[in-house]
């Protein structure tokens, strides 16, 4: 059975750490963060946000525009944490996603390869959305030949210092892992404080990626779609080149 194996040891040198909630087949920028750090933490001890990116993402729909692909989740308390949420059992939603992607066969040159990748992902019987999404990240990274040294926060059993503000989860986790640098997506600039990090021995950086349009074989380019769409139209080498179109800055 295909399951996510728990990482037993941290890297010898984890200079740069990224910490993100485990999203469902996320967009290119998420994988750029993985590619340009030494260790990745799937962060699952916080509240699960409904109608977010945890159980769905966007792909092309036939004709024009985009549509969601979704992993439905089991009923849970509104305050449930990510680590407590499970996807619905069975194959129905997985088959639905594959059917939604069938229209790509007409114009996407790598439809067969991506379908095989997804079938490999969907072969996992895992129900935890945290572990399942991390398993999907691992499968995509292996397809792209990107090293992926990772663990799930709830598996790490870290002893953290006091967390008094939203940006201190990442700070305390970075310190507990012995990291010298924490790298965040650009969207967190408004509530992360470089001076605080520097005063506690951790450098704070933000990764900005320039996302150039690629051919989707249709008149209008749909930006910001799932990695699934990117893989449909590009080789792993081309995708890796996209992931290197980044700037790391404080």
Residue range 140-166, pLDDT digits in tens: 999 999 999 999 999 998 988 888 988
So what's the pLDDT on residue 224? 95
Residue range 78-98, pLDDT digits in tens: 999 999 999 999 999 999 999
So what's the pLDDT on residue 84? 97
pTM score of the predicted model: 0.93
**Other CB atoms closer than 10 Å to residue 97's CB: what's the count?**
19
Query: Three-state secondary structure along 87-132?
Result: ECCCCHHHHHHHHHCHHHHHCCCCHHHHHHHHHHHHCCCCCEHHHH
So what's the pLDDT on residue 5? 53
Question: For the chain, what is the mean pLDDT?
Answer: 93
Pairing of strands 56-60, 66-70: antiparallel
Q: Output the six-digit token pair for 19.
A: 């910490």
So what's the pLDDT on residue 4? 55
So what's the pLDDT on residue 13? 54
Could you list the beta-strand ranges (E) of the chain.
16-20, 39-42, 56-60, 66-70, 150-152, 181-184, 203-209, 246-249
So what's the pLDDT on residue 23? 98
So what's the pLDDT on residue 61? 97
Q: Residues 130, 22: contact at Cβ < 8 Å?
A: yes
**Residues of the chain under the 70 pLDDT cut:** 1-14
């Amino acid at each position: 059975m295909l399951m996510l194996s728990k990482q037993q040891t941290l890297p010898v040198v984890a200079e740069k750490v990224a910490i993100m909630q485990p999203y469902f087949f996320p967009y290119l920028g998420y994988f750029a963060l993985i590619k340009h750090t030494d260790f990745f933490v799937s962060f699952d001890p916080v509240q699960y946000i409904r109608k977010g990116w945890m159980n769905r993402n966007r792909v092309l729909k036939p004709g024009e525009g985009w549509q969601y692909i979704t992993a439905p989740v089991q009923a849970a308390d509104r305050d449930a944490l990510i680590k407590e949420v499970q996807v619905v059992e069975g194959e129905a939603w997985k088959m639905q996603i594959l059917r939604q992607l069938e229209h790509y066969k007409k114009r996407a040159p790598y439809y067969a390869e991506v379908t095989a990748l997804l079938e490999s992902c969907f072969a996992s019987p895992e129900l935890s959305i945290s572990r399942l999404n991390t398993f999907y990240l691992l499968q995509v990274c292996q397809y792209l030949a990107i090293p992926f040294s990772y663990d799930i926060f709830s598996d790490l059993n870290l002893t953290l210092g006091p967390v008094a503000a939203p940006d201190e989860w990442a700070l305390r986790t970075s310190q507990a892992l012995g990291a010298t640098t924490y790298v965040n997506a650009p969207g967190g600039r408004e509530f992360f404080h470089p001076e605080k990090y520097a005063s506690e021995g951790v450098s704070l950086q933000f990764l900005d990626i320039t996302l150039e349009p690629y051919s989707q074989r249709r008149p209008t380019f749909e930006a910001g779609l799932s990695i699934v769409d990117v893989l449909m139209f590009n080789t792993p080498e081309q995708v890796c080149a996209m992931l290197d179109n980044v700037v790391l800055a404080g």
